[in-house]
Amino acid sequence: MSDDLNKDESEKGIKREKLNWLLRIITLGDRFSLQDFYDRIKKGFVEFLIVFFGVLVSFGVESQGEEFGDRESNIDNLIGLRDEMIDIQEYTQMYMEENQWIRALYSRLYDQWEEDKDSVFLFIDEADGMPYSPLSFYYNYNPFNPPRVVYEAIKLDGTFRFLGSEVGRLVNNTYDGTDLKYLMLNTDREEKVYVDQFEAQVANKWIYELEKIDLYDTDFWVKHRNYFQKEKFLKYNLFKRLGLWEQISEQLVDYDATLERNIKKLDSVIQTKEDEFVFIYWWF
């Protein structure tokens, strides 16, 4: 009987009825075999590892794909910012030329202010040979307002953080730096102070003391040139405004130099990223 049982156990395992309660729980068929139990454990473990690592690799690839997408967006942002900075530099240099022309024009007018001639406030337009007075356009001013569409878009879509701390500081300094804010303030609110004073003088004083005020009429400046030379207000206002224009000129030069440095830095960062070897979602 014992030999038959051993033979039965070795060939087919132990019958379920002869097992204790614990082994009955883990026994699937009518008999329990230790070797079969181990085989099923190994098979289950291998299947678990396959599924686990499959899911792990899937999540890893998906995560790497997202990082790759962020990298591509970052490169696009860098290129967009670099190109916009080039546009800003072109705008700045054009503004510098305008500032230089205005300073030269009104400095010439200021220097000859006290000359004893009726045409002291008149210049000849080189384009058409016609006389004009720079004071006819004295109320004009042009606030410095460089393009910033790409910068604002990047801030709004939440991808600014991908630029990194160093590039982020560089970009912020270009678009929202203290020097730029003072430059924009001087060309807008500060200059408007002198324009408002000029317009107030016209509205509150000249209309009561002068006949038919027409700033675009050259005869107006010829007829009343003695009045303006004696009044002193307009000359002093021009003196103060020339000082502001000189300060703006220095700020423009500094900002142009900042743009030049930052454009070169972005060029270097972009080139480094474009030189990286890319394999599917990985780069080296």
Nearest Cα neighbor of 138 from 228, 3, 28, 54 is 228
pLDDT score, position 9: 47
pLDDT score, position 74: 81
Maximum mean pLDDT: which of 2-16, 54-68, 265-279: 265-279
Q: How confident is the model at residue 31 (pLDDT cuts 50, 70, 90)?
A: low
Q: How confident is the model at residue 2 (pLDDT cuts 50, 70, 90)?
A: very low
* Percent of the chain at pLDDT exceeding 90: 62
pLDDT score, position 49: 75
Q: How confident is the model at residue 169 (pLDDT cuts 50, 70, 90)?
A: very high
231-to-28, 87, 161, 201, 236 alpha-carbon distances in Å: 113, 44, 58, 11, 10
| Residue 251 confidence (pLDDT) above 60 | yes
Half-sphere exposure of 147 (CA within 13 A, CB side): 15
- Please say whether the beta carbons of 72 and 128 come within 8 A: no
- Residue whose token pair is 């000249």: 206
- Looking at the chain, how many residues does it have? 284
pLDDT score, position 48: 75
- Among the listed ranges 11-20, 123-132, 133-142, which one has the minimum average pLDDT value? 11-20
Q: Please name the amino acid found at residue 65.
A: G
Cα diameter, the chain: 144
- Please say whether the beta carbons of 251 and 183 come within 8 A: yes
Nearest Cα neighbor of 110 from 101, 120, 124, 99 is 120
Between 263 and 39, the higher pLDDT residue:
263
pLDDT per residue over 233-248, tens digit each?
A: 999 999 999 999 999 9
Q: How confident is the model at residue 72 (pLDDT cuts 50, 70, 90)?
A: confident
Q: 237 exposed, middle or buried (CB, 10 Å; 0-12, 13-18, 19+)?
A: middle
Between 196 and 276, the higher pLDDT residue:
196
Residues contacting 2, CB < 8 A, separation 6+: none
pLDDT score, position 240: 98
| Residue 4 confidence (pLDDT) above 60 | no
SS3 state of residue 124: strand
Half-sphere exposure of 108 (CA within 13 A, CB side): 13
| Residue 6 confidence (pLDDT) above 60 | no
Nearest Cα neighbor of 191 from 133, 235, 253, 237 is 237
pTM equals 0.78
Instruction: Give bridge partners of residue 31 from the DSSP assignment.
Output: 15
The CA distance from 66 to 71, in Å, is 9
Q: Phi first, then psi: what are they for 31, rounded to 5°?
A: -130, 155
The CA distance from 214 to 218, in Å, is 9
Q: How confident is the model at residue 8 (pLDDT cuts 50, 70, 90)?
A: very low
Tell me how crowded residue 75 is: count the other CB atoms within 10 A of its CB.
16
pLDDT per residue over 173-213, tens digit each?
A: 999 999 999 999 999 999 999 999 999 999 999 999 998 89
Q: What is the mean pLDDT of the chain?
A: 85
Between 245 and 126, the higher pLDDT residue:
245
pLDDT score, position 73: 78
pLDDT score, position 42: 73
Q: How confident is the model at residue 23 (pLDDT cuts 50, 70, 90)?
A: low
